[in-house]
Amino acid sequence: MTTTAALSLGLSDRTVFVAGGGSAGPGWSIGRAACVTYARLGARVCVADRDRTSAEETTQIIRSEGGTVDTFVGDIANEDDVVRMFAEAKARFGVIDVLHRNVGIGKTGGPLDTKLEDFDLAQSVNVRSLLLASRQVLPDMIEQGRGSIITISSVAGLRYLGYPHLSYCVTKAAVIQFTRMLAQQYAANGIRANTVVPGLIDTPRIANTVAKMFSETSLDEARAARAKQVPLGRMGTAWDIANACAFLASDAAAYVTGTELVVDGGLTGKFA
Ligand SMILES: NC(=O)c1ccc[n+]([C@@H]2O[C@H](COP(=O)([O-])OP(=O)(O)OC[C@H]3O[C@@H](n4cnc5c(N)ncnc54)[C@H](O)[C@@H]3O)[C@@H](O)[C@H]2O)c1
pLDDT digits (tens, 9 = 90+) for 126-160: 999 999 999 999 999 999 999 999 999 999 999 99
- Ligand 1 centroid – CA 104 distance (Å): 5
What does the pLDDT read at residue 104? 96
Quick check: 3 pLDDT over 70? no
What does the pLDDT read at residue 8? 80
User: Which atom of ligand 1 is nearest the CA belonging to 75?
Assistant: 32
Name the burial class of residue 32, with classes exposed (0-12), middle (13-18) and buried (19+) by CB atoms within 10 angstroms of its CB.
Answer: buried
What residues line ligand 1, using a CB cutoff of 6 Å? 20, 22-24, 29-31, 49-51, 54, 75-77, 102-105, 125, 152, 154, 198, 200-201, 203-206
User: Which CATH architecture best describes the domain 15-204+236-262?
Assistant: 3-Layer(aba) Sandwich (3.40)
What are the backbone dihedrals phi and psi of residue 216, each rounded to the nearest 5 degrees, phi first? -80, -20
- Ligand 1 centroid – CA 23 distance (Å): 7
Q: Delimit the domains of the chain by residue range.
A: 15-204+236-262
Active site residue 168: yes
User: Which atom of ligand 1 is nearest the CA belonging to 105?
Assistant: 43
As beta bridge partners, residue 17 has: 46, 99
What does the pLDDT read at residue 94? 96
- Ligand 1 centroid – CA 20 distance (Å): 6
Q: Rounded to two decimals, what is the model's pTM? A: 0.96
Q: Of the ranges 41-55, 95-109, 195-209, 252-266, which one carries the lowest mean pLDDT score?
A: 195-209
Angle between the 52-64 and 30-40 helix axes, to the nearest 10 degrees? 30
What does the pLDDT read at residue 212? 80
Q: Give the residue-averaged pLDDT of 53-74.
A: 98
What does the pLDDT read at residue 2? 59
